[in-house]
Structure 1
Amino acid sequence: MTTLENRPNTALLVVDVQNGVVDGAHARDAVVTNVAALVERARREGVPVVWVQHSDEELTRGSDAWQLAPELKPDAAEPLVHKNYGDSFEDTGLETVLSDLGVGRLVVAGAESDACIRSTLHGALVRGYDTTLVADAHTTGDKTAWGAPPPAQVIAHTNLYWAYQTAPGRTAGTVSTEDADLTGKP
């Protein structure tokens, strides 16, 4: 269980599902559909949904590329965290948002598997959060031109190694969209 005291709640963390990030990404439509299904289930079950949106030279704030995928519609009451680094906690208000919600367990979905997803997963685990990756609700673009494996292999590898992560007093792992437990209740 989480090492964060008095933080019994779970949140769905949706990372960087933005036009400029997921356009052309591996299995884009299936992943965005799975993220949307998780968001709807979280809302139905009263689980907080926290959105993360990245900005940099290629994702200029306010541009079309920076916008969230059109299939995803954050509710006005749902927190939106803006970031400039891979780890969604780095130099953002995410920790405060989660603390205010009493969250000690995160269910993570989004993009990109080999960048912001990995950074955020590790950032959460080292900060004391139980952290579950939704195996079929994250994606990445093709970076084979820079020596990376094909996207399907990157995603599979991320799922493989996160399934076996451990840390004292914390849990990690992967789960499918269908089997994701968003409440964290036994």
Structure 2
Amino acid sequence: MSSGAILPILDHELADDEIEWMKSVYADFSKARAAAGPEFNPKDALRAILAREEYHFSAVPDLTGPGPWRLGQNLHGRGVAAVFLRKVELHAHIATRTDQFPMYVVGEADGFSIDEKGKPVLTPVSDGGHFHNAPGAPHAFVPKVGAPKPDDWEIAFIAITPRNLKEDTHRVSDEVRALYKQVVGQDAPLGI
């Protein structure tokens, strides 16, 4: 979590090659899923795809362990990582835009955010989707509201961000926590 230092706002639009890279990774992931049938292991499939040289950036990524897997910096100087969450992380990046591309969900998920009118929003997560979080926008992926949560619930996504988010991850306000509870039906997690 941030030390409170003032950071310059980094907001941007993704470049065409960043979008094309994501589409290509997801297309290969979809092909692997279709070919594997019921024995499909999504994390292993994603690991194998991201290990391909065609998907490397500035360095060969370390794809061991449970993640996150840091994939390196793309041509625009933005960091790219594969992230795997088994619990809700509600937070905001005060000075940093983030882009998240869901690869798979074990179970179902919604994306929680606040719209421009200050209202809480739940957006169904679809594999291959795109969540854009403007600087300061509270966000979280949550198990599908109203659906049973499997014990092995997990969401995996590729994140593209212009800075190391350890310096720009902030807890949300009590007001945002109340809005979260209003639409999710559970207290917001305390930690990040």
Structure 2 length-normalised TM: 0.26
Q: Which protein has the larger Cα radius of gyration, Structure 1 or Structure 2?
A: 2
Q: Using CA pairs below 8 Å that are at least 6 residues apart, which structure has the higher relative contact order?
A: 1
Structure 1 length-normalised TM: 0.26
Q: Which has the higher helix share?
A: 1
